[in-house]
Structure 1
């Protein structure tokens, strides 16, 4: 791949399944932060006269929210009502250190202030006053110090504590966490203050089920303090580059561990024996480690594995021999590994596979015959492989396929024809459930777009190879189920394209960057009331005109380029 159609293959995308905080709203398609704040003043539109009749409780909460500055304390209210008022104020970003004082002794259960501005030890004093009622606290991104953690030590019933990106407390402050014996979830991401000595505090948390230490840079040697956490089910140590094989050996006795994320750790194949001792593992992420084919026979003993990620390692076809017995696998990621066609023969028996990532491997056309029998496959990524047009006929057996990535320059109109041609009626049935089709860098022309009409349920489409004109968009406009459409890099598209797309009212995301679209064409976007993101970079379009359109006709548009 080259030129404008290339993508950065080394850009790391971390899995982030754990709780990040209620205000961490970012748009992944651009670098623009989605606005998190909203005002109570906007809510009357949902009240009488606005189309929706609220409950009496909603009216009360709304009224109190409007006038919250008038009240010194909410402690006389029922705890459930205080909780709802607190949540509303947090969501609207109306709380300050002064106003949170009104919630002292309110018996709140959940205080979720992740990424909330201005949170410090003064706030913690009020939070700790909830005492035994407090069950969940998220202070991500705050300036909490050792003093603040000490204030939490009497929250005896606390079950969940999140301290991600907090860098003002020390390893000594962690000793106050050690008394929170009912904790089942603890997350302290990207903290250099979590040291081997500080991890002693974790040894008493015998009820802990999930521990997240992602990007903690100083924890090598501290895993010995996790040995007694017999209830631990999930451990995330992704991007902890200090982790070594000896750390894996220290946790090999955690027999209830079902999820281990060690992506980006400096472990080698020598640690696979220790990992194999984790007999209950269902999800294992070893992306971007220093793994080779050596010792991989140990992995074959993990019969309970359902998810396995081995991307960006130095493994070859020889490694795949040891995956043959993992018959419960549902997800397998081999992105950027030295895997070829013959190695895929070892996947034939993995009949439960639902997702297979083969991007940027050495897989070619003949390799597809080995996966043609994986009938439960729903997601297949063949981007940056050598798969060609003719080999796409071998996808006929994948009747449950929902997502297909064919981001490769050698894929052309002929490939789409092979997937949908009436000479191969079975293929039409095969792809009738397709929801996502990625042809980002494929060489699709106007002639090829006629075959897209066979994908009746498609919601996501990318065609950015540069071969489209307004004529090809005539066929795309008939795909009214689309919610995300990326036609960037097609430099011959004009305002006519926006006119053709004006009837696609389900669209939530539209990208037509690097085209000949102008401010004049923006008027055709007015019917797209569901549009939330719009990218028209490197077009003859100004931010001022997009803002006018946003204010007058596109109320749901929250992210746009140029901005």
Structure 2
């Protein structure tokens, strides 16, 4: 059983991937990390790793190891079989051994995948070699690079390109986006935190009729651009998190995207009216409205989204009135109601959501009496009760949740006596007890119960 440190109330939350990569900042103070830290190993000339004991390496593995060992002797890999040159390329990238000079050796190699996300030194000069792969090229990632419109323009003739990631590329403008408009085979496109995604720049997406995944997180100038998504009927995933320019008027352009299965709208400037445009999205399984200015009134529309398995309404200022519409979401597995004004009266409407596996009630105004409505949620694996008025008496209602693996009781009223009431939950792996009411005696008794 483990214990996690709880965060202080009101602490700013930052995505873990942002903390440990250049995505968090493109300032020079972070760029130096890209050039100094190893990307998985410091020695490009390491010996081939045999996956299992006693297994002889394959011929391809031996060839890749030999090429890597003598990498400085080669200036052209175009005569190698594509699968071999692709593996050599991938190895050089993984072990931070690819330089601009070595990159030139891969010109016209018909590579299918060029993954240079977060790689140091990538700029327009590199894109000529990337584009030389021609119609063989299927996937490109140049995230966090210094590529400009000129470099992006090199890809316009790679007509079979299916996946492109240009996250945090702050030197690309809306004019650069326009050069991509002819890439109609694109199925996945990502432009996180890109000022080029304006109402004008988003026109480039209109012809990408095969798009299934579009990631525009943190694009600040996107307002008015969603109109160009209306024809993308194959779109299944749309990420608009932290696009604070999006309003209710933008949302109406999503109403015809009937194949949407995942929609991320955290911290957008939308209200209940904006949510109403989602009414016909019957395949929607994941809906994230965290931090949006919606009320419980939007739950009437959401209750009609019968395919929902994940609903995030954290930090939305929701009260009890209207929460009765949650009763119809029988397929829900993940429900986040944290940091709202709901009370025990709301929990009455959750008792029939028997498929719930994860529930977040952090900082809600709930107490012991409300927990009685959770005792039938036998599939629960994770329960967040931090900063609530839950005490020892309420924990008796959780004693039958045999699948519960994680529970957060930090900043609650739980005492040593309460811990005895959950001592029979043998599936627990994580228990947060950042709580002044808990003493060494209570912890000792709990530990003995799990020994």
User: Is TM-score (shorter-chain normalized) higher than 0.5?
Assistant: yes
Give the C-alpha shift of residue 122 in structure 1: 1.9
Q: In the TM superposition, what whole-angstrom CA distance separates every residue of 1:376-399 from its partner, at most 9, and x where no partner exists?
A: 222212222221110112214533
Give the C-alpha shift of residue 105 in structure 1: 1.5
Instruction: Go from structure 1 to structure 2 and tell me whether the alpha carbon gap of 1:183 and 1:345 turns closer, same or farther (over 3 Å shift).
Output: farther
Are the aligned partners of 1:188 and 1:214 in contact in 2 as well (CA < 8 Å)?
A: yes
What SS class does the counterpart of residue 204 from structure 1 fall into?
coil
**Is 1:286 matched up with 2:286?**
no
* TM-score, length-scaled by structure 2: 0.79
From 127, 132, 135, the counterpart of 1:132:
135
Q: Distance in 1 between matches of 2:56 and 2:162?
A: 36
Are the aligned partners of 2:416 and 2:441 in contact in 1 as well (CA < 8 Å)?
A: yes
**Is 1:154 matched up with 2:181?**
no
Partner of 2:339 in structure 1?
312
Partner of 2:404 in structure 1?
377
Are the aligned partners of 2:45 and 2:68 in contact in 1 as well (CA < 8 Å)?
A: no
Partner of 1:458 in structure 2?
none
Q: Distance in 1 between matches of 2:311 and 2:382?
A: 15
Counterparts of 1:49-68 in structure 2 under 5 Å?
Answer: 54-68=57-71
Task: Pick which of 71-80 and 261-270 moved more.
Answer: 261-270
Partner of 1:260 in structure 2?
263
Instruction: Go from structure 1 to structure 2 and tell me whether the alpha carbon gap of 1:338 and 1:252 turns closer, same or farther (over 3 Å shift).
Output: farther
Are the aligned partners of 2:199 and 2:225 in contact in 1 as well (CA < 8 Å)?
A: yes
**Is 1:80 matched up with 2:83?**
yes
What SS class does the counterpart of residue 422 from structure 2 fall into?
helix
What SS class does the counterpart of residue 263 from structure 2 fall into?
strand
Partner of 1:475 in structure 2?
none
Partner of 2:148 in structure 1?
145
Q: In the TM superposition, what whole-angstrom CA distance separates every residue of 1:73-97 from its partner, at most 9, and x where no partner exists?
A: 1111011100111011111222233
Instruction: Go from structure 1 to structure 2 and tell me whether the alpha carbon gap of 1:15 and 1:285 turns closer, same or farther (over 3 Å shift).
Output: farther
Give the C-alpha shift of residue 54 in structure 1: 4.8
Give the C-alpha shift of residue 272 in structure 1: 4.3
Structure 2 stretches lacking a partner, 5+ long: 25-29, 270-291
What SS class does the counterpart of residue 172 from structure 1 fall into?
helix
What SS class does the counterpart of residue 438 from structure 2 fall into?
coil
Give the C-alpha shift of residue 367 in structure 1: 2.2
Structure 1 stretches lacking a partner, 5+ long: 26-30, 422-427, 432-453, 455-563
Counterparts of 1:235-246 in structure 2 under 5 Å?
Answer: 235-246=238-249
From 209, 222, 227, the counterpart of 1:219:
222
Q: Distance in 2 between matches of 1:235 and 1:412?
A: 47
Counterparts of 1:111-510 in structure 2 under 5 Å?
Answer: 111-266=114-269, 267=292, 268-269=294-295, 271-273=298-300, 275-276=302-303, 278-421=305-448, 428=449, 431=450, 454=451
Are the aligned partners of 1:252 and 1:274 in contact in 2 as well (CA < 8 Å)?
A: no
Q: In the TM superposition, what whole-angstrom CA distance separates every residue of 1:234-286 from its partner, at most 9, and x where no partner exists?
A: 33322333334454554345443333333333422255455455443322333
Partner of 2:11 in structure 1?
11
Are the aligned partners of 1:359 and 1:381 in contact in 2 as well (CA < 8 Å)?
A: yes
Of structures 1 and 2, the one scoring higher in RCO (CA 8 A, sep 6+) is 2
Q: How many residues align?
A: 411
Instruction: Go from structure 1 to structure 2 and tell me whether the alpha carbon gap of 1:377 and 1:258 turns closer, same or farther (over 3 Å shift).
Output: farther
Give the C-alpha shift of residue 353 in structure 1: 1.7
Instruction: Go from structure 1 to structure 2 and tell me whether the alpha carbon gap of 1:205 and 1:375 turns closer, same or farther (over 3 Å shift).
Output: farther
Q: In the TM superposition, what whole-angstrom CA distance separates every residue of 1:473-520 from its partner, at most 9, and x where no partner exists?
A: xxxxxxxxxxxxxxxxxxxxxxxxxxxxxxxxxxxxxxxxxxxxxxxx
Are the aligned partners of 1:253 and 1:277 in contact in 2 as well (CA < 8 Å)?
A: no
* TM-score, length-scaled by structure 1: 0.65
Instruction: Go from structure 1 to structure 2 and tell me whether the alpha carbon gap of 1:71 and 1:289 turns closer, same or farther (over 3 Å shift).
Output: farther
